[in-house]
Amino acid sequence: MVKFFGVRELVELLRILGVEEFLSNLIRYTRDDFLRWPQFEKSARVASHSPNGVIELMPISDGELYTFKYVNGHPGNTLSRKLTVTAFGVLADVRSGYPLLVSEMTISTALRTAATSALAASCLARGGSAVMALIGLGAQAEFQALAFKAALGIRKLQVFDVDPAAVMKFGSNMRGHGMEVISASSIVEAVKGADIVTTATAAKRNAVILTSDMIGSGVHINAIGGDCPGKTELDRALLQRARIFVEYLPQSRVEGEIQQLPVHSGITELWEVLAGSRPGRLSAADVTIFDSVGFAIEDFSLLRYLSDLSSTIDLHREIDLVPALEDPKDLFGLLREAPAPQRASRAG
């Protein structure tokens, strides 16, 4: 039997632990795995693009555990009341190849993205950062806000979205979480005075959400919306004046904000900063950018955390994903032993 976390189980887990505690623990798991970066077998995700969006597979292994995630990104889905992003993931034992855990990863992707954003900001943003601007209030926004509160103590949010309903949704969801939410009338107003700016828009195009003149010295930008070829959020001039950090350079070159820059631009991978092998922010005046497209190690950390939690909090289900056989060479025998299906009787 294989452990299974569906939407119902994950929601109940978050209710028991609390979103902020879950995120705090996940940040720790993510940091630990980034610090083991050289141990991982890494590759850019495999993407299948269509006019409506993209479907991707994201694999990674540390030699003992293997994970992959199936995930889509279809910005137009909201017009038919469907999610922009859906996902599921698998954690497997490398020695046997057997799956150990299967999980929903739609909610989990929002959690792991927020955890990684906060982890990056903890070593790139100025000390004492207190105000964050959030541009784009879709499915990621609340998770981002709570992760930054948990990791950096952010309690003041200046928010903007072109959709008034999204602004109302965000304000309603954030009530009771101890954060001050200020709705801005423009992006310029939202970023004014902010120490950290998070951009999380969904449109699949080369947009300019932030221009260089909007951003003063010392600001840290958490750019999570530009995550596929031809999809960006930041003005090229802003990139050129900033110190830029990414998850996995071969993937970010194709999908991130840095697809706008020459190949030989100086870019640092986040794990190098966490390990102390390369510097992060050099001065309080630096503009820093975490150009995050999402990488498989973050899904690995999430699935590893869920697996550990399943040993102490009994919320998961079990599914018969793999046959249990007396004789592993006799797969056909399972059919012979199976009870015949019951046919429904016809009335009349």
Cβ(298)–Cβ(117) below 8 Å: no
Average pLDDT value for residue range 39-66 = 95
pLDDT over threshold 80, residue 345: no
Q: Choose the catalytic residue: 33, 195, 227, 299.
A: 227
List domains and CATH numbers for the chain.
Answer: 2-107+298-323 (3.30.1780.10), 120-294 (3.40.50.720)
pLDDT at 336: 82
CA distance 187 to 18: 31
Contact 223, 233 (CB under 8 A): yes
Distance linking the first and last C-alpha atoms of the chain: 42
- Please give the pLDDT value at position 225: 85
Which of the residue ranges 133-142, 158-167, 255-264 would you say has the lowest mean pLDDT? 255-264
Share of the chain above pLDDT 70, in %: 95
Mean pLDDT confidence for 21-31:
98
Q: Where are the alpha helices (DSSP H) in the chain?
A: 7-17, 19-34, 106-124, 141-152, 164-174, 187-191, 236-240, 249-255, 270-275, 296-310, 333-337
Tens-place pLDDT, residues 291-327 = 999 999 999 999 999 999 999 999 999 999 999 999 9
213 is catalytic: no
**Would you place residue 231 in the very low, low, confident or very high pLDDT band (cuts 50, 70, 90)?**
confident
Contact 69, 47 (CB under 8 A): no
**How does pLDDT run across 201-225, given as a tens digit for each residue?**
866 677 888 999 999 999 999 999 8
Average pLDDT over residues 188-193: 98
- The reply to whether the predicted model has a pTM over 0.95 is no
Kindly list the distances between the CA atom of residue 218 and the CA atoms of 194, 242, 288, in Å, as whole numbers in the listed order: 10, 10, 8
Bridge partners for 317 per DSSP? 4
